[in-house]
Each structure stands twice: as C-alpha cells, then as structure tokens.
Amino acid sequence: MTTPLSSRARVAVLLAAICGLLFDGVELGLMPVASLSVSQDLLGAEYTPTLGGDWFARFTAALMLGAAAGGILLGQLGDVVGRSRALGISIPSCSPPSKAPTPPSAPPADSSTPSA
C-alpha cells in the first residue's frame, strides 16, 4: 500500500505541473520568432517573405505533428512501463540531436583583412 502525499508534497507536484504547462506555452510562443531567423539563415539570398511564410508553416506543422505523435506514443509507453521510465526513455531521443556538431561555415565574403 502506498502512503498518501503530504500537503507540502501535493503543492510541489501542483507547482511542477503548472510550470510544465507554462514552459510549454513559452516554447510554442517562441516558435514564430525562431522560425523566422531559421528560415532566413537556411534560405540565404533566396529568402522572400512568401517563401519564409511557407517554411514557417512547415516548421509549425512539424512541431505540432511531433508533439501529437510523441504524446500518443510516449503516453502509451507510460501506461505500459510507467511515467518515470517513459520520461527516461524520451530524454535520450532528444539529446543526441542537440549534441550533433555543426558544419563549419564559410568565411564572410567581405573580409577586412588586406590581401597581399
């Protein structure tokens, strides 16, 4: 038999849940800001507001699709193995891409160093 949570522990759980929802809202709110700079950087000289809007729609769709698929798959996984283990399984799936090396960028075309 499990022991019930103290009132202090219940408040901590409630605050953690509220913070999770708050941070998720902040992430979704920052998506338009990030996608504009990402679109401009990836498209370079080919960037136009119309093309940028097209890529913004793609970024947003990918974010929503990933959130829905992750919620469904990891929700079912959480039902089978438990929420803590499902979270432990999901963290490594997000971590390797953030640690991937970035390719070196080309030197700027307008160099201030004099040529010999």
Span 76-88, pLDDT tens digits: 888 888 878 877 8
* Count of residues in the chain: 116
pLDDT band at 38 (very low <50, low <70, confident <90, very high): confident
Least confident span in 9-23, 53-67, 92-106: 92-106
48, 36 Cβ separation under 8 angstroms? no
Least confident span in 15-29, 65-79, 90-104: 90-104
- Mean pLDDT value of segment 86-108: 68
Tokens of 7: 């009132």
From the DSSP assignment, how many helices (H) and strands (E) are in the chain?
3, 0
Render pLDDT for 55-71 as a digit per residue (tens, 0 to 9): 888 888 888 888 888 88
Tokens of 14: 């409630």
What is the rounded distance in angstroms from the CA atom of residue 54 to the CA atom of residue 35? 11
Report pTM.
0.51
46, 54 Cβ separation under 8 angstroms? no
